[in-house]
């Protein structure tokens, strides 16, 4: 037996066996107990440790849409070089009448959007929407457009117009759809409309409007109106409005 070998005999005393056991691993039953105790301590620590904040919404809020912010980051559609697609996008914002849109779709065959934007003040516009192309003159509706809000806010306008039902007397009414050829005067921010009374185009009413933007409203007002009514029995040359001026020889209308 070498010097490194230890022989255990039945004659060893308890004190000798205890001395030889120092530094050895504990018995298997004791090791199992220690392991269970350690695992239990880890479980208690995990239960008492703070948990990360729960980010899922409560059950009552699940499936609900988030409220829209007060200001949208989506830019409004273009105002120039417009296509039919741009008209569709603008109608979702301005919502002009269905009768106007149906007339446009039935009478306009080109790719033109039929929309013109006239600037009134900072962030506010007069939106001119083509409805019917017409046999000898078009019809339009006009809306105020306020881009200071997001999304923009639009409102359909009614304009005072002069017309003659009997060909002699002239009556003033308020209408949303206006028949005639519009001309915008950017320097004075005024709009003129030459409305012809018959297909020959030699008589009718010319009206100049001014649009005042006050607070959240845009109000149209008649600045000047002229007419050639009743239509003469003998045909005359077709009336023209050059740079928004009234046709020659048309008489003022009191308003």
List pLDDT tens digits, range 82-95: 999 999 999 999 99
> Quick check: is 41 in a domain?
no
Structural domain count, the chain: 1
pLDDT for 7 equals 39
pLDDT for 239 equals 95
pLDDT for 67 equals 38
pLDDT for 75 equals 66
Secondary structure of 61-126 in HEC code, one letter for each residue: HCCCCCCCCCCCCCCCCCCCCCCHHHHHHHHHHHCCCHHHHHHHHHHCCCCCCCEEEEEEECCEEE
CA pair distance 51, 35, nearest whole angstrom = 26
> Quick check: is 59 in a domain?
no
Share of the chain above pLDDT 70, in %: 70
Range of the domain at 123: 84-252
pTM: 0.70
pLDDT for 78 equals 84
pLDDT for 98 equals 98
> Quick check: is 32 in a domain?
no
> Quick check: is 72 in a domain?
no
Mark the ranges of the chain whose per-residue pLDDT is less than 70.
Answer: 1-75, 167
pLDDT for 217 equals 84
> Quick check: is 136 in a domain?
yes
Which residues face 182 on adjacent strands? 193
Q: What is the pLDDT of residues 213-245, one digit of tens each?
A: 877 789 999 999 999 998 999 999 999 999 999
> Quick check: is 39 in a domain?
no
> Quick check: is 168 in a domain?
yes
> Quick check: is 219 in a domain?
yes
């Amino acid at each position: 037996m070498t010097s490194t070998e230890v022989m255990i005999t039945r004659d060893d005393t308890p004190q000798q066996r205890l001395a030889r056991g120092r530094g050895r691993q504990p018995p298997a039953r004791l090791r199992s107990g220690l392991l269970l105790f350690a695992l239990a301590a880890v479980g208690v620590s995990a239960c008492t440790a703070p948990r990360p904040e729960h980010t899922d919404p409560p059950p009552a809020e699940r499936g609900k849409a988030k409220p829209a912010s007060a200001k949208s980051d989506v830019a409004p559609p273009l105002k120039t070089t417009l296509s039919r697609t741009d008209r569709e996008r603008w109608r979702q914002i301005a919502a002009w009448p269905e009768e106007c849109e149906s007339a446009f779709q039935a009478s306009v065959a080109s790719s033109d959007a039929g929309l013109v934007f006239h600037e009134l003040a900072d962030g506010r516009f007069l939106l001119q929407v083509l409805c019917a192309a017409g046999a000898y003159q078009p019809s339009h509706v006009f809306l105020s457009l306020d881009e200071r809000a997001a999304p923009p806010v639009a409102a359909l306008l009614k304009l005072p117009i002069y017309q003659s039902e009997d060909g002699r007397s002239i009556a003033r009414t308020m209408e949303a759809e206006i028949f005639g050829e519009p001309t915008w005067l950017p320097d004075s921010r005024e709009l003129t409309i030459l409305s012809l009374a018959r297909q020959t185009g030699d008589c009718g009413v010319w009206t100049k409007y001014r649009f005042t933007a006050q607070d959240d409203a845009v109000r149209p007002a008649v600045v000047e109106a002229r007419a050639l009514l009743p239509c003469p029995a003998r045909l005359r040359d077709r009336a023209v409005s050059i740079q928004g001026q009234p046709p020659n020889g048309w008489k003022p209308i009191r308003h």
